[in-house]
Amino acid sequence: MITHKLIGFSINTLSLVSPKLSARIALFLFTKPMRGKVSEKQADFLDTAFKDELTYNNSSIMTYRWLGNKPTILLVHGWESNSARWKDLILNLKKVGHNIVALDAPAHGYSGGDRFNALLYSEFINVVAKRYNPEIIIGHSVGGMASVFYQHKYQNSSIKKLILLGAPSEFKDVLKRYTNMLGYNKRTINSINSTIVKRFGASPEKFSTASSIKKITQQGLIIHDEDDKIIPYNDALLIKRYFKNSTLITTKGLGHSLKGDVVANHIYSFLAS
């Protein structure tokens, strides 16, 4: 917390001299993952997969595939994670014969790049989907948001089911939690918002899972925990409001990770329906 306050104070002070530079640094910190690389134990598991390295705009995309004869499932992890986070789910999906594909996000795992955002991640997903033709996408956290952005943009008719685990709804709220944590002042926040508009062509309010999901007609499953301290439960309610062909499952005590048999069993039931 002290470190956060020091960073926030420094960037706020810099904004007095150069608002544009302070915004660039603030966004660098916001989009630069500190964790998410593969540990030795995780590498042992990922080595059980067939690996294939794809590319998007000169950035490498590491993919992993476990063969099966049932519909292909694409697994999309969240912030500061990697494909190994799906280990337990992968092992169980293999038992029932699913073909499974996972990818590492930009600047995560063995994928390339040093910056991350959901729009870039959605383009990674598009490259992988073209290669492996999944029928089901399971996305955790911002991986869920990126999956929705992908399907909204590309309207892939091969996708039949979409599962969102602890997914955020509004990017503006994610950004606000970050700026509050760092204690950025109004001048710095305004500069950040202006920089986002210049880089991505729209204000933070325009990047919304709930809004993007309105045009998605696939069958959906939303799972969110009441005690999620990273992404508030209200985000799930907002997504559900606009995701017409979906079911919301509410858990308690699992937090943001949503790991364990309870969530897995809901996924298996949904896949079998």
- CA torsion angle 13 18 20 26 (round to 10): -20
Helix axes 261-272, 87-95, angle to 10 degrees: 40
List pLDDT tens digits, range 228-237.
999 999 999 9
Nearest CA to 37 out of 77, 4, 1, 75 is that of: 77
Residue 55: pLDDT over 80: yes
Q: What SS3 state is found at 110?
A: coil
Torsion sign, CA atoms 142, 148, 151, 157: positive
List pLDDT tens digits, range 132-157.
999 999 999 999 999 999 999 999 99
Q: What percent of the chain has pLDDT over 90?
A: 94
Q: CA-CA distance, 220 to 197, in Å (whole number)?
A: 31
Order of strands, edge to edge, in the sheet holding 161-165? 50-56, 59-66, 98-103, 70-76, 136-140, 161-165, 219-225, 246-251
Place 1 in a pLDDT band, splitting at 50, 70 and 90. Answer: low
List pLDDT tens digits, range 204-221.
999 999 999 999 999 999
- pLDDT at 4 (0 to 100): 81
Residue 239: pLDDT over 60: yes
Q: What domains are defined for the chain?
A: 71-170+208-272 (3.40.50.1820)
CB of 15 within 8 A of CB of 183?
A: no
Q: CA-CA distance, 221 to 248, in Å (whole number)?
A: 6
* Mean of all residue pLDDT scores within the chain: 95
- In 3-130, which ranges are E strands? 50-56, 59-66, 70-76, 98-103
Q: CA-CA distance, 220 to 55, in Å (whole number)?
A: 29
List pLDDT tens digits, range 178-207.
999 999 999 999 999 999 999 999 999 999
**Residue environment code for 178-203, b if the CB has 16+ CB neighbours within 10 A, otherwise e:** bbeebebbeebbebbbebbeeeeeee
